[in-house]
Structure 1
Amino acid sequence: MSEAVLYVVATPIGNLADMTARAIEVLQTVSLIAAEDTRHSARLMAHFNIKTPMISVHDHNERQRIERIIERLSAGESIALISDAGTPLISDPGFVLVRAVREAQFRVVPVPGCSALVTALCAAGLPSDRFVFEGFLPAKSLARRQRLDALAREERTLIFYESTHRILASLEDMQACFGSERMVVAARELTKTFETIKGAPVSELLEWMRQDANQQKGEFVVLVQGAPAAAADDVNVEAMRVLDVLLEELPIKQAAALAAKLTGLKKNFLYQAALARRDA
């Protein structure tokens, strides 16, 4: 009996020509395909003449599917996990399943391919040596602004996913939280017929998109240039001043926690800074 494996298989994000030969071979030879949406993936399977049976594994049934999948692996069968598009687990279901399969001592083998965030990053013209992926922002404006405020001083390039219904609102909140001049790139419908990659200060990008309803449609990757290092240095100076004041009245742990709330910096960073200040 061959070794049972869970393959995590990336599929195209739009252009079917981006499907890799290895991905096709794996999907043809496994015993079962666990798909986010079997009806959606049926079109991909038909295009490549893949006859392998499929079951659904999505946000609402992932935990219930684990036992069934591990039983199939225990019987020596290999299984492929796919999402609707791109690389599974990246803002898609699969993490719970992959963790359970690894804990059950079965191999998990990645079959790399398309990922919308990497596709956008390599064409955006923003720094790509250090970046942070935030996935989808909260749907409600208040929660979204709170998250953006927490990221306003992040020096790395920020990457978000966004939907047609919220793209304008998210850009408006980015303008409010990051300032009108922060460079933002909107990558729309990547690899598809109407692919558009537009970069500008967020105020200009927002106005451009407002004037063209077609540019508000589709699936978006939004990339934001990181905060200038000088701004981050200024914030750190102010944060240390706040921390010093709090340390005069509070224990280190409480002072660090409150300073984190007041400054938006990481609690662990401030805790270590407080320890260093105490030792000094």
Structure 2
Amino acid sequence: MNIVLLYLSPNKTTHKVSLALARRLEQDGHSVSLLDAGKPGQRSPIEVDPCLFENADVIGVGSPVFNLRILRPLKQYLRQALPHFSKDVKAFIYITYGGITSGKAFLNAASLLKQHKIPVVGGFKVRAPHFYSSESYPDAAALQTIDQFCAQVSANLFRAMPWPQVEQAFGYQGWKVRLIYPFAQIVGELRRLPIHFDTQRCLRCQRCIRECPANALKMDDYPVLDKHKCVHCYHCATICPQQAILCPTYKVEGMAKVNVKLLGHEQPQNAIYLLPPAGAVGSIGQRGYN
């Protein structure tokens, strides 16, 4: 199988999962290409070699969870890119999140795939550390989930799930998540932290511009932020070698603690969603690996 992993990774955890996923799929004999939608030269489908889309048998769509959804720039990218894939392509979805809730990110991505008549073969979610954590990643639990998913999806020959079963498998949200989901985007915008630039410290190295996953920074005399594109991942503030990007990122940890009090930790934190192997007795649903 020719597999394209199409993802966006503001703080590099989804990128690390994508690398581990690619290595594991290659062990099963698949050919894997990585398409980071936030990387310069790949930020628009028109910048990408069309053969990458045309020759793909399977797409892996990867996203972190922001405000209970997949990232807005990835959603926009998929709308442009999906029509370029062959009519026979299939897809799976993989989600990274902070362990509190994966929200409706699976359903967001599945809905886009359904609009373009691309069958879904399954997916998996893995807990990932927040950007302020020094935790080594991917951890053993994430790697185990990736291994289990790859082994089973290959054994299943990438069989597509019927759409009602896709919606059933990915519709596992508890009542609290379903209740706050319509307001999560608004609340997220209200909690956004201010981002400012100290031009006296800035060396104009443009690292922030190269690494911005939303392509929200442009160079004038100094970096300039497009607030309409910014997703407030705060990656620019954490990587600036001169600490010239000023943002009170220490507040994010406190926000996460409030979220835990409201929602708790999603269980199981790591899980896969696939059809049972051909001939086996079972049903689609969460198969947890904590």
For normalisation by structure 2, the TM-score amounts to 0.30
Q: Would you tell me which structure has more helix in proportion to its own residues?
A: 1
* Bigger RCO (CA 8 Å, 6+ sep): 2
Q: If you compute each CA radius of gyration, which structure gives the higher value, 1 or 2?
A: 1
